[in-house]
Amino acid sequence: MTLSIIVHGGAKTISEDKVAANNAGCLAAVEAGWAVLTQGGSAQEAVEAAIRVLEASPTFNASLGATLNNDGEVELDAAMMEGNTLGWGAVAAVQGVRHPISVARKIMNEKPRFLVARSAERFAAENGVEMCAKEDLVADEQRQEWQEQQEVLDRPNTIGCVALDASGTLAAGTSTGGTTNQQAGRVGDSAVVGCGLYADNILGACSTTGDGESIIPVVLAKTAIDFLNGDRHPDEAAQMAIDVLASRVAGEAGCIVLDSEGRVGWAYNSQDMAVAYMTEELDRAAVFTKKESRQLQKAL
């Protein structure tokens, strides 16, 4: 077993002028999570730290960079799961919460474990999660795109992270602003255990990204983890899961996977996917936007 962490900034089309921002954001996120792991922190803490970095960046579709719904507002979903007890927590359709992943983590030991809208916002405020005016999360770029009804290329459906800590515990997290101009109140896959994320110390953990309405019916995260049976490498398991989605439904998706040994894998059927990872076997974190040319990508 080796300490490992992997993050994704979404399966999407990344225009040339956004490559550097995607790389920098994913790298900063994985470094934040890695610092937690190497200081003896838990996988849950590492996942939260990494995703908070992505949520604070306008480059990614989570919190500050989230897309706007059909009312021109930001609504956020997030979830976390850990693989020891199969504990989980999720929130959806929340507004005015800067870091919904932190709410999802706090709710993991509560019942109910899935809160939406005002109930989730009230829970966040009562538990010390940073709140703000809902308008503060509307970035200028997203407001302009929404007002002008522009076609959006660089808006992933979800960002996420998977980590393995020194105790052998795996954790997965997701966070998203949904899809551009979605109906207010829509909830996709990101906050749904088995679809947007899954973690089980016996096999591995996964975070997904893409079209929620396509990910949910094939239970993509759990499907990827099931394919780890028989000591299959996470790369192969991830690709098999994406192949299942592509064969059964229309839509783009991607997933990142760690197995119980800390091996790393990911796959996607979109044009690009922003990914960064770090393990004890590497001298420095690696970051990519295209997998097929992995060896040519810049490892920072």
Binding-site residue numbers for substrate are 186-189, 209-212
Which residues lie closer than 8 Å to 88 by C-beta, 6 or more apart? Answer: 79, 80, 81, 82, 108, 113, 193
Kindly give the residue spans of alpha helices, DSSP state H, lying in 56-191: 100-106, 117-126, 140-148
Active site residue 223: no
C-alpha separations of 128 from 80, 101, 103 in Å:
18, 13, 9
Give the up-direction half-sphere exposure of residue 118: CA atoms within 13 A in the CB hemisphere: 0
Please provide the distance, in angstroms rounded to a whole number, between the alpha carbons at the two ends of the chain. 24
* Nearest one of 296, 24, 289 to 153, comparing CA atoms: 289
Please name which of 31, 57, 14, 67 lies closest in space to residue 274, comparing C-alpha atoms: 14
Phi then psi for 232, rounded to 5 degrees? -70, 140
Catalytic residue among 59, 67, 158, 289: 158
Catalytic residues: 158
